[in-house]
Structure 1
Amino acid sequence: MELKKKIFTTAPLPFMGQKRKFLKQFKPALESYSPTATYVDLFGGSGLLSHTVKSIYPGAKVVYNDFDNYQERLKNINKTNQLIADLRLILKDYPKDKRIEGIVRDQVIARIRTEENNGYVDYITLSSSVLFSMKYALSFDKMEKETLYNCVRQSGYDATGYLDGLEVVSQCYKELFAKYKDLPDVVFLVDPPYLSTEAGTYKSYWKLRDYLDVLQVLDGTNYFYFTSNKSSIIELCEWIETKTPMSNPFTGATTATMNATINFNASYTDIMLYKYE
């Protein structure tokens, strides 16, 4: 009997900005799109949107632009699981969610150092087990200086089948867009790092010009576009449309929103705009 393929509702490894909470709006919106279209995930991130499209439309071509090299983290998932399992053993008698101090802290740092010297360390995933919520240390030197907490994961990570059926590439989104923009029945998934929102785990720093450049891929195309109310991109496009000869790329698009909580006193609104003609 053929085993049923697992459908992931969250990225198998931690990734800031993944769209797991937006899937409830994304899936029904996708129903108005073609099951045989080509879907190009220009800012693939964790690949969750690409995975979701492929799981709903198995016959569609789905191109996942893994610019952040998430696939490398997935390939090393066994090493990550072993490291976290060893930390779990070190911390087995240590209070949960408490600051790690003294000899135990030295043991944790020593185990991470060994892996740094001899193997592979996924610092983003590791951060979720030994740092305070939403904090990331992306190197051993930075991890060593951080205050550590025992929030170690109690089970291993699994990414079996996550990238199955996807065409995985890694290139500048502009080059990928140029390759597909003139082909028939193409849908672009456009989820750039948010303007005015923490993006510390992404490869590069984005300025306002970069965000505005992205809007060019929405001109006359079918798309899903993600932003937040902190970026003011929608208001800017409305201003451009009324004050200049330029058009608004969001004209005719459908909007869906979701409240996102950062901590107990900070939140913002996630926004998804989509258009299919």
Structure 2
Amino acid sequence: MFSGKQAPDFDFLFGEAWYRKIRESDYPIASGYLDGVEIIRENAHTLIPKFAHDPKMLLVLDPPYICTAQGSYRQDDYFGMVQFLRLMSVVRPPFIFFSSTRSEFVDYLDWVIESKQNGWERLSNYQKISLQTSLNYSAKYEDNLVFKF
């Protein structure tokens, strides 16, 4: 399917036109690439506090975009504004956030810092790398990598 189009289920997917994008060669083997890295999948609200004082913990966060359609996430536990605010209450540096102009994440950070909301110091002096991108010929937006070390 064309980039930016999402299939909610297999029936929809198999009813769409497909375009040949199959690799004709294998991907290079990356054995050992993640040796020594511990990957934990757990709810952020319970995981982050367990490691809050560990200087080796780096938060890499890619939450669903707030105030946007989240139908493609199909999670039993909808990630809405309350879940976002709970997440932000436990975030501390070092962190990396993936975001875009499809959400108001950067505006939120600026508001927290400017109005000195609770925990604003943890977010102040963040840095941002932006990239103009597009999903297809008509859907253009800015991708952001927001970080603080």
Q: TM-score range by the shorter chain?
A: 0.7 to 0.9
Displacement after TM superposition at 1:168 (Å): 3.3
Give TM-score scaled by structure 1 length: 0.43
| Residue in structure 1 matched with residue 2 of structure 2 by the alignment | 132
Displacement after TM superposition at 1:272 (Å): 1.8
| Residue in structure 2 matched with residue 175 of structure 1 by the alignment | 46
**244, 257, 265: which is aligned to 2:138?**
265
Post-superposition Cα deviations, 1:196-252, rounded to whole Å, max 9, x if no partner, equal 456554342421222222222334x31112222232222233334444653434212
Shift >6 Å, 4+ stretches: none
**83, 92, 105: which is aligned to 1:233?**
105
Where do 5+ consecutive residues of structure 2 fail to align? none
Within a 5 Å distance, the mapping from 1:34-113 to structure 2 comes to none
Post-superposition Cα deviations, 1:13-46, rounded to whole Å, max 9, x if no partner, equal xxxxxxxxxxxxxxxxxxxxxxxxxxxxxxxxxx
| Greater helix fraction, Structure 1 or Structure 2 | 1
| Cα RMSD for the two superposed structures | 3.0
Where do 5+ consecutive residues of structure 1 fail to align? 1-130
Displacement after TM superposition at 1:184 (Å): 2.6
Larger CA deviation: 235-244 vs 207-216: 235-244
Post-superposition Cα deviations, 1:133-171, rounded to whole Å, max 9, x if no partner, equal 333335433334x23234352526647436642433332
Residue-pair matches, total:
144
> Are 2:26 and 1:153 aligned?
no
Displacement after TM superposition at 1:192 (Å): 1.6
CA distance 1:243–1:198, shift in 2 (3 Å):
same
Post-superposition Cα deviations, 1:87-129, rounded to whole Å, max 9, x if no partner, equal xxxxxxxxxxxxxxxxxxxxxxxxxxxxxxxxxxxxxxxxxxx
Structure having the higher Rg: 1
> Are 2:125 and 1:252 aligned?
yes
Q: Quick check: 1:261–1:267 contact (8 Å CA) kept in 2?
A: yes
Larger CA deviation: 154-163 vs 255-264: 154-163
> Which one scores higher on RCO, CA 8 angstroms, separation ≥ 6?
2
SS at match of 1:168: coil
Q: Quick check: 1:250–1:273 contact (8 Å CA) kept in 2?
A: no
| Residue in structure 1 matched with residue 82 of structure 2 by the alignment | 209
Give TM-score scaled by structure 2 length: 0.72
User: Aligned AA for 2:53?
Assistant: D
State how far apart, in whole Å, the 2-side matches of 1:245 and 1:171 are: 27
